[in-house]
Amino acid sequence: MPVLSTRYNLLEQAALEALRSAEPDRFQYRPEGGAHLNLRGLPLEPLAGIDEEKIAALCRIVRGLAFAAVDGAQSGHPGGSSSKAEIVLTLLASGVLAFDALHPKLPGRDRVVWSAGHCTPLFHALLALVFETLRRKGISLDSAAASAAVYPEELARFRRFGGPSGHVESSYALADTSTGSSGHGFSAALGFAALHQSCGLDTKVFVIAGDAETEEGMSYEARNLAANLGMHNLLVTLDYNGFGIDGPISDVLPSPYLRHWFAAGWNLIEAEGHDIRELAYAYRLAATAFAGRLPTVVICHTTKGKHYGRLEGTADSHGTPLSHQEYVAAMRELGFDIPGREGDAGADIRTVTDALGEAESDYLLARLQCAAARIAPEPELVGHMQSALAGRALADYTALQRPDQLPAELLFREGDLVPTRKATEAWFTWAMKRTAFFYLGAGDLMKSILTGKAENVYGVMSRDNPLGRGFRFGIAEQNMAMMSCAMAQDVLPGGFRPMTAFATYGVFTPMMANAVRMTLINTDVHPQASAFFIMLAAHDGPETGEDGPTHHGLFWMSLFTAYPGIHVYKPLDANEAVEMLFHAANRGVPVVFSVVRPPTPVLRREGGVPPAGAAIQGAYVFKPFRGNGRQKLVLAISGGQVMANVLEIVPDLERIADVKLVAVTSPQLYEELRQHDPRKANEILSDEERQYVVTLHNGWRGFLYPFLLPADYPRRAFGIDRFSRSGKPPEIYARAGFDPGGLRERLLAYLR
């Protein structure tokens, strides 16, 4: 750099121009991304196997089916569906995708994520084309393939109960996670890509996406990590039509669009999204990792609502159906002489299906056979995994059975003060050594939540350590959750099921709620892809006192107890935490697992107190009634420090009451016990005893409402109902009336 001969006042325009002339490098932006290749308008040679005329004919049929489905439902998303027709048909025919239509869920297949999960008119039309072709050729399906199929006649019930779904669900072929929340698909696909690469598999993960999804913050988080991990098996084909639902994406994304990918370090290929030859070249180049071990995005320049009448090229085409008369005109413009009777979509669908000629169906069948041939036999893939993971236990979480005699590292001495986060640290480390398919990370909080010891068993995943099992997610909770949840949905060759754990402070867990929700939905609609994961809600309660209300985990469980398919576990001490982790792995049902930072008493289990394993019931009797003839009081207690504080004041309470203590570790587990073993549940808390219950929870009082009679809450539910302020944990407890003195005062006042 030359030495400046003068001083510059850069607030003056003339000085700026002088500096620009003298030292242009100071003004030059030098992005350091991946490789960039622009195929648009290049004179490309035809590719073997790519019959552009037949693919174009198939695209016309798919558009016709999609438009007819939307008109029949008077609902759906025609714009993005139509702009992606060439994108998905060319991908299917490209010879790059490994997919067997006769066995759509083979573990060795490539994974497909419809991040643009609203494009179901296209998705279902594509499946209808595929399975109609097989039907015409007399190829029968087994029950598994039949359940993943869609046929043209079913499109007449699109978005109606029992018909093809409104958003993509993973029970169908060519979809490996349920989508519809925009921007989530990038993270889910990254989870699949990381899982397969870290097991020594060559599986590719294809993402079908739209440009407006890039506005979602989670997509930014995913793009950063994907490039940093070198996920060269991740390929995004992106419909760049310039519109979201409400208008141009430039309303939100001011910088040139390509920078949103290139600056993150991705390889980038540009192609005309309606040019089959350019698309085929792009996919084949992307599949060969044409410029190093980086993920690749194919930016497909398209027209939103292509061929969709007056809505072509507009944001309104996104989710607005044409009027029936306009739809009929658009279909005839496409070359379909449909009957066009309003309310009879089935007749129009038959007309479109009849246009599928034998030459086109023969070609599609041949390309499907080519795609199926790309899948290696499952024993061969298991062999690759055994070789890559040599020295590790080739077993999944179902093998994590509780030993009859717990090892020393999983036992905590009664009476000691032990943070429950030490228990999860020990169990995660123990589990990591016993399964090759356990993945763990935290949202830039590893040192605080104590996930690092387990992560370091096989190391943190990186370009230099692709077989690692730990993750450095960074401050990116949304991507962390969706990526981890997607990994847990998958089934690897050999039937191995991954298990994931991801951690942040309890107060931040609501940021991950939608990723969890989408995964629970996925399990519900496709039980074969049910996911087991542990979301660690660390530093629960007011224990992070000094941090103030921004970090007090008081109310987070209100959200997750409302979701079906997930349980909140809140062990009272370290030994209970170990028992509940084994129970979670044995059940395979996702959990949000509460742990605390400060030392908490390991409860003494003498004098008839049940062992720590009783925690898996969701509740147990820590202290029964004494039968002293006084008025009865049942305290249902959640939180280890709360229990410790109550034990200090029991003698005072028993001067005027007969006190029973019920330790609560999971209201949901206890409700299940009431359904499946009512006798045992009644022994813990009978219906007659509910009239005497007062609940104590160091957070949201509603967490323990299931232990009360409806007429008694919130009157008999003691919790923390306000945001607190900074202070040492004992100060916070005292301020909330949950220290021994405060509880004594509250409960004695109640008894009087």
Does an H or E element contain 718, and which?
Answer: strand 717-718
Calculate mean pLDDT across residues 237-243: 94
Least confident of 21-35, 291-305, 738-752: 21-35
The dihedral through the CA atoms of 605, 606, 611, 616 has a sign that is negative
Instruction: Tokens 């992005």: give the residue.
Output: 31
Query: What does the pLDDT look like over 396-446, one tens digit per residue?
Result: 999 999 999 999 999 999 999 999 999 999 999 999 999 999 999 999 999
Residue 573 carries which DSSP code? Answer: S
**Res 290 pLDDT > 80:** no
The pLDDT confidence band at residue 346, using thresholds 50, 70 and 90, is: very high
pLDDT of residue 3: 44
* Residue 721: closest CA among 709, 735, 710: 735
Which 3-state string (H, E, C) describes 266-325?
CEEEEEECCCHHHHHHHHHHHHCCECECCCEEEEEECCCCCCCHHHCCCHHHHCCCCCHH
- Higher pLDDT, residue 711 or 686: 686
Q: Pick the residue with more confidence: 484 or 244? A: 484
Q: What is the mean pLDDT of residues 733-751?
A: 94
- C-alpha distances out from residue 253 to 1, 375, 565, Å: 34, 39, 37
User: DSSP letter string over 477-504?
Assistant: HHHHHHHHHHHHH---GGG---EEEEEE
- With cut-offs at 50, 70 and 90, classify the pLDDT of residue 30: low
Residue 291 has pLDDT above 90, yes or no: no
Domain edges within the chain: 38-379, 397-594, 618-751
Q: State residue 102 phi and psi, 5-degree precision.
A: -80, -20
Q: Average pLDDT for residues 307-331, to the nearest whole number? A: 93
Stronger pLDDT, 138 or 550, i.e. the higher one: 138
Q: Please name the fold of domain 38-379.
A: Rossmann fold (3.40.50)
Q: At what angle do helices 574-587 and 420-432 cross, to 10 degrees?
A: 40
- Pair of tokens at residue 83: 């702009």
Q: Mean pLDDT across the stretch 171-199?
A: 96
- The yes-or-no verdict on residue 1 having pLDDT over 60 is no
- Sequence-distant (≥ 6) Cβ neighbours of residue 467 within 8 angstroms: 198, 199, 200, 388, 389, 458, 461
Cα-based torsion angle of the residue sequence 241, 247, 252, 258 in order, rounded to the nearest 10 degrees: 10
Residues 715-721 have a mean pLDDT of: 92
Instruction: Report, as an integer, the average pLDDT of 498-502.
Output: 98
pLDDT score of 16 more than 80 = no
Of residues 640, 641, 624, the one with CA closest to residue 632: 624
**Residue 546 — very low, low, confident or very high, per pLDDT cuts 50/70/90?**
confident
Whether the per-residue pLDDT at 152 is higher than 90: the answer is yes
**Chain mean pLDDT for the chain:** 94
User: Tokens 């390889």 sit at which residue?
Assistant: 267
Angstrom distance (rounded) from CA 702 to CA 197: 43
Residues 710 and 700: their CA atoms lie apart, in Å, by 17
**What's the pLDDT score for residue 752?**
85
Tell how many helices (H) and how many strands (E) occur in the chain.
Answer: 26, 17
- For residue 241, what pLDDT is reported? 93
At the top level of CATH, the class of 397-594 is alpha beta
Query: Between 16 and 346, where is the model more confident?
Result: 346
Extract the tokens encoding 245.
């639902």
What's the confidence (pLDDT) of residue 108? 97
Asked if 412 and 611 touch (Cβ cutoff 8 Å), the reply is no
- CA pair distance 662, 634, nearest whole angstrom: 7
Q: What is the mean pLDDT of residues 238-261?
A: 90
Task: Write the pLDDT tens digit of every residue in 80-111.
Answer: 999 999 999 999 999 999 999 999 999 999 99
Among candidate residues 695, 632, 633, the one with its CA nearest the CA of residue 667:
695
Q: What is the CATH number of domain 618-751?
A: 3.40.50.920
pTM recorded for the entire structure: 0.94
Is 60 exceeded by the pLDDT of residue 671?
yes
Higher pLDDT, 250 or 198: 198
C-beta of residue 199 within 8 angstroms of C-beta of residue 492: yes
Please determine whether the domains at 397-594 and 618-751 fall in the same fold group of CATH: yes
**pLDDT over threshold 80, residue 11:** no
Percent of the chain surpassing pLDDT 90: 84
Q: Provide the pLDDT for residue 4.
A: 44
Q: What confidence tens digit (pLDDT) does each residue in 569-597 have?
A: 999 999 999 999 999 999 999 999 999 99
Question: What integer pLDDT is reported at residue 12 of this predicted model?
Answer: 78
Q: Is the distance from CB of 79 to CB of 68 less than 8 angstroms?
A: no
**pLDDT at site 497:** 98
Q: Measure Cα distances from 430 to 401, 467, 485, 524 in Å.
A: 12, 18, 22, 31
| CA geometry: angle 584, 695, 514, nearest 5 deg | 45
Token pair of 745 as six digits = 């005062």
Sheet holding 619-623, edge to edge: 619-623, 657-664, 631-638, 693-697, 717-718
The mean pLDDT value for 237-262 works out to: 90
Q: Return all residues near 444 (Cβ < 8 A) that are at least 6 apart.
A: 472, 473, 474, 475
Residue 81 identity (one-letter amino acid): S
**Whether pLDDT at 256 is above 90:** no
- Can you tell me the mean pLDDT for 58-79? 96
